[in-house]
Structure 1
Amino acid sequence: MHVHHGARRSDATRVTLLTEGTYPHSHGGVSVWCDQLVRGMPDLEFDVVAVTGTGHEPVVWELPAQVSRVWSVPMWGAPPEGEPPRGRARRRLAHSYERFLAALLDPCAEDGFAPALYTMARAAADGSLSPFLRGDRAVSVLASVWNRPGLVVREARPSLHDALTATGLLEHALRPLTAPVPSDGVTHAVSGGVAVLPGLAALERYGTPLLLTEHGVYLRERYLGYRTAPYRWPVKAVVLGFFRLLAEETYRRAALITPGNRYNRLWEEQGGAAPESIRTVYNGVDPAEFPPAGPEPEGLTLSWAGRVDPIKDLETLIRAFSLVREQLPDVRLRLFGGTPRGGEAYRERCEALAAELGHADAVTFEGRVDDIKDAYAAGTVVMLSSISEGFPFTLIEAMSCGRATVSTDVGGVREAVGDTGLVVPPRDPAAMAAAALELLAEPGRRAAMGEAARLRVIEQFTLRRTIDTFRAIYQELPDLDRTVTPAPEPVRSLAL
C-alpha cells in the first residue's frame, strides 16, 4: 500500500524512516517517538517504509505535511508479485542462497552472508526472490546444506517439514527487500531486524547513508521470543542465525548507530559496531505536555501503562500485586493499554492468573486511554515490569508527571530513573512487591521521589534535546564519505 501525502520539496533533506510493526500503522512507544521526530522537523522531508503484518493495516496516525509517502511492506499478506528466475539466473540465485544458508549454519562460512544477501536483494528488486523461495529448489538447497557432515544442526535430524517451515519463515523475513530503496538523503531504521533490509540495500546500491536507532535490542528480543516458539531446533537455528548475522551486518555497515541507552551499546559493540560509530541519544518528552499529575488517588493504587504483550511481563506484575495485597488488602492494580492484534490470548492468560490468585476484583484492564497522563495520575505508584526495554517512554512520562516508580532493571531503565525510583530484578515478583510496599508505606518519600523524577526529566530527557540531536545527525550524514570501512571482526558472544 502506498500513501502519497503532499508534494515533495526539492530543497529539503530527505529522510526515509524504516519501521516494523509501528509508525504509522499502530500506536505504542516507538510510534510516539517517530511522530514526535517527524513533527519536530517540519522543514525536512520524510518518507516511510513500514513493514506491516498483512498490508491491510490502516494508517492510525495523522500524517503531517512533511511526510510525503508511506510504503507498506506486508510480511504475512499476499506474496510479492514476480516470476521465478530461469536458466542461468536461477542457478546463480540458487548458488547465492546456498551460500547464504551455509553462513547461517556454519561458523566457518559466515563471510558469505553479506555477498549472498546483496545478490538476493537484487533478485528481490526484480521480483524473482520470493517466487524462488516459494519453490521446491529452495527447500532442496536447505535440506542439502544442513545435512552437510560436521554441522551441529545435522545431529537434530532435520526433517522435510523443518525445511519447509524454515524456508517459509525466511521467505517472509526477506520480503522487505522488495521495498523501494532511496538513492539520496538518509535512511533511518528505527529498530534493527528486517526493517533495516531496505536501508542495507540502498547503501549497497547507491551509497545512501544508513542510520540505526535501537530502542530495545532487536536480536535479544528475538532470542527471548524464540525460546518458546513452536519450532524444532533446526528451524530455530536457521532463523536465529539469520537475525544474528543481519544484526552484525547492520552494525558494521551503518554510518551511525544511536542507541537509546548505554546497555544497547554493549550489544552493538559485541556485534561488530565500531565504537566511534555509536552515539547514545536518549528519548525525550515535553515536560509541558506531562505536567505534575496532582493529588494521588484516594485509595492505594498501582498503575501500569503500555501494550499488553508478553515482553511487558504482566504476569510477574500480577504475582507481585498478589503479594502486596496480602499486606494491603484494599490496594488496586489498574492496567492501561491496548492489546495488539494476535495478543488476545496473552491478555486472557493474565486475566486468568489474576482470577486464579483471587484478585479478579482488584485487577482491572482499562484498555487504551485517551490521555495517557490519566494512567499515571491513577497510580499511587507507577509500575514497569518488562523483561526487555530500551529507554521506555512510559517511565520518563510518569517521571515527568511526578510519580514515584518501581521498574525492572532492563535496558536503559536504571539510566532513566537514577535515584528517583526503585529498580528491581526482572521476573522477580517478591522483589517487585517489596519495593511497591516500601513506597506505598511512605507518602513523604513518594512525594520527594516524584519531585526529583520530574526535575531529572527537565534536566536530561527533554524532547527538544532529542529532536535537535537528530536534526544535526540528518544534516551530517549525507556529507560523510560513503565508503564504509569494515569494522573489526565481531566478538562471537552474540552467537547462540
Structure 2
Amino acid sequence: MRIALLTERADFRTWSAEGSWCARLAEGLPEHEFELCPLEALPGTGTDVPSERVRLRAAERMRRGPVLGLRRRRALAAYGELVSALADQRRVESFPDALYALADAARGGGITALLRSGAAVDTLHRAWQAPGASLAAEAGAPVLQDALVAADLLERALRPLSLAWQEGGPERVDLCHVLGGGPALLPALLAKRFHGVPLVLTEHGLHLRERLRGYRDAPYGLPVRALLHAFHLQLAKEGYRQAGLITPGSAFDQRWQEYCGADPGRIRVVYEGTMAADRPEAGPEPERPTLAWVGPIAPHGGLLEALRAFGELRERYQGLRLRVFGEIPPGAEEYARACRAAAEEFGEDARFGGWSGPAAAGAGWVVLLSGSEGPRPRLLAELMLTGRPVVGTDVGVMRELLGPTGLLVPPGEHGPLVETCSALLGDAERRARLGRAGRQRAQELYAVAPAVEAFREVYLELAGQVAPVPEAAAAAPTRRPQPFARPAEYWLGVRTG
C-alpha cells in the first residue's frame, strides 16, 4: 500500500532522520511505500530527506487564485455555519457538515486569502455574537479585536484545506496515517470524505490536551481561547469518528479519547517504540547519595515540593545531594526564580543542571518525578531504561507504565515523598531490584519490534475492510469499487509464485 504519514510538525527532518519513529516504521514495513507529508515543510528543503524509505511530498503546495462569485458566497456561508457550531452548543452537530462544505468550496483555491478577508472577520463576528450563543455567555462577548485574532488563528488551523496533494490522479494514496491529530487530520478527513481513503490516527500524547495546556498562558483573550478550544475539540471528535482505527500511546490517553467520543472497539493501544530500549543502562551509582529530579520547571512540575522534601531528607542522610534536570517553559520564569531562591539555602548540594536527556537520570540513586500532570510516556520509559528506580506522583501514565516496578505518591504532598525516598535511599538492594525490574518492563513495552508489528496488523485490518463509496463516485455506479477484485497480495506488494 501507499501510505501517507501526515504530521503537523514543521521540523520534518527529526521525523525522517535515521532512528526516528517514522523511519523505524518505514524500515520495519518494507512491503509498504511511505510518504511523509508535513503540513509545514521547511523552506528550501525540497525532497532531500535522509531516509530513502520516507520521502517528502510537496505539502506546501497550495491552491492559488481568488475565490469569486457563487463559490465565495458558499465558502462564507459554510464558514459562518462552522463558527456558529462552535459558538452555540445547540448547533454543534452541524460542525462536520460545515467543515466539509468549506473544504468543497476550497477546491478551486484562494480559501486562505478569503479567510483572512474583512468579509470573513465580519462573518465570524456576527456568528459569534448571535443571540443565544452559549460560548459568548460563558466566556464573555467578543469584541472586534477578538474577532480579528480568532480569524487569523482559525485560518492557520484551516489552512490544510488548501493542500493539493489529496486530489485524485496518480498521486492517490491507499491509506492516510495521521501522527498527532490536530490540523494534520484535515487532509486525511477530506481524503476519506471525497476519495474513500481509510484513516489511521496515532496520538503519542493527546493533541487536544496539549492544546489546552498551551492556551493557559497564551496571550489571547478568554473568548478567543474558548473558541479555539471548541474548534480543536470538535475536530478531534470528528477525527475519532472517521478513523478506521485509533492507536493511542497509552491506556491513559485511550480513556481521554473515549471521553471525547471515540469508539472503544476501534482503539488499539500501541506503545511508542524507542531505540533507547537497546541502550545499556546507566553506570554505577554516584558515591554520595543523590536524588535526580526530572520535569518541567513550572508550577505543574512540582519542583518546590521536591525541594521541601529534600530539605527534610538532608537531616536523615548526611551528604545527600539533589540534581535538577529540566527546562523552563515559556511563562514559568517567575516560578523558576522562586525554585532557585529556595535551593540557595542548600548551597552546592542542590544544583540545576539543565536538561541533557534521559541519561541524566543516571546522576542519582533515585529518579524523582513530583509533577501534578505526569511526564510524557516515552520520557518515563527512557528514564526507566536507565536502570534507576523511579519515585513519581500518581498522575497520568505513571501507574500504567511503572506498574509494580516503581513507587507512587499522592501529588502535592511532600510528606509521602519524604518517606518513600527515604525508604529507597536506605536500601541499596531494593533500589537495584526495582531499577532492573523497571528497565525490563520498559524494554517489553517500548521495544521497536512490537510497535512495528502492531502497525503491520493495523494496516492489514484496514486493508481487509470494504471502503465506503466516495462522494465523488456516488453518482457513477459503474465506478463503484469492487470488494476483493484484487487479491490481498496486490495491496501488500507481495510477489507470489
Residues 472 and 23 of structure 1: is their aligned pair in 2 closer, same or farther, counting only changes over 3 Å? farther
Q: Which amino acid aligns with 1:396?
A: A
Unaligned ranges ≥5, structure 2: 471-497
Partner residue in 1 for 2:311: 325
Partner residue in 2 for 1:10: none
Partner residue in 2 for 1:216: 205
- RMSD between superposed Cα atoms in Å: 3.3
Instruction: Find the partner of 1:85 among 52, 55, 67.
Output: 67
Pairing 1:85-484 to 2, within 5 Å after superposition: 85-155=67-137, 156-179=140-163, 180-181=165-166, 183-285=172-274, 289-303=278-292, 313-314=300-301, 316-328=302-314, 330-335=320-325, 343=329, 346=332, 348-349=333-334, 351-359=336-344, 361=348, 362-368=350-356, 372=358, 374-385=359-370, 387-388=372-373, 392-426=377-411, 431-432=416-417, 434-483=419-468
Shift of 1:106: 1.3
What does the per-residue CA deviation read over 1:207-253, in whole Å, with 9 as the maximum and x for residues that have no partner? 11110112222222323332343322321221111011101101100
Q: Secondary structure at the match of 1:357?
A: helix
Q: Secondary structure at the match of 2:408?
A: strand
Q: Secondary structure at the match of 2:77?
A: helix
Shift of 1:162: 1.0
Paired with 1:446 and 1:393, the residues of 2 have a C-alpha distance of: 22
Q: Which amino acid aligns with 1:171?
A: E
Q: Which amino acid aligns with 1:381?
A: V
CA contact (8 A) 1:130 1:171 kept: yes
Residues 120 and 398 of structure 1: is their aligned pair in 2 closer, same or farther, counting only changes over 3 Å? same
Paired with 2:398 and 2:131, the residues of 1 have a C-alpha distance of: 45
- TM-score where L is the length of structure 1: 0.81
Say which one has the larger Rg.
Answer: 2
CA contact (8 A) 1:305 1:394 kept: no
CA contact (8 A) 2:87 2:128 kept: yes
Shift of 1:94: 0.8
Shift of 1:195: 1.9
Q: Secondary structure at the match of 2:121?
A: helix
CA contact (8 A) 1:320 1:430 kept: no
Q: What is the identity percentage for the equivalent residue pairs of Structure 1 and Structure 2? A: 36
1:65 aligns with 2:47: no
- TM-score where L is the length of structure 2: 0.81
Shift of 1:474: 2.1
What does the per-residue CA deviation read over 1:380-431, in whole Å, with 9 as the maximum and x for residues that have no partner? 2223355556861222223233210123333332111101012234455555
Residues 296 and 248 of structure 1: is their aligned pair in 2 closer, same or farther, counting only changes over 3 Å? same
Shift of 1:49: 2.0
Residues 366 and 159 of structure 1: is their aligned pair in 2 closer, same or farther, counting only changes over 3 Å? closer
Q: Which amino acid aligns with 2:239?
A: T
Paired with 1:388 and 1:71, the residues of 2 have a C-alpha distance of: 37
Q: Which amino acid aligns with 2:150?
A: A
Shift of 1:484: 9.2
Paired with 1:127 and 1:310, the residues of 2 have a C-alpha distance of: 43
Partner residue in 2 for 1:19: 7
CA contact (8 A) 1:23 1:34 kept: no
Residues 118 and 388 of structure 1: is their aligned pair in 2 closer, same or farther, counting only changes over 3 Å? farther
What does the per-residue CA deviation read over 1:121-169, in whole Å, with 9 as the maximum and x for residues that have no partner? 2344433221111101111111211222122334423211111111111
Q: Which amino acid aligns with 1:252?
A: R
CA contact (8 A) 1:215 1:390 kept: no
Shift of 1:455: 2.8
Moved more, 215-224 or 241-250: 215-224
For these two proteins, the number of residue pairs brought into alignment is: 453
Shift of 1:104: 0.6
CA contact (8 A) 1:103 1:111 kept: yes
Q: Which amino acid aligns with 2:456?
A: R
CA contact (8 A) 1:284 1:463 kept: yes
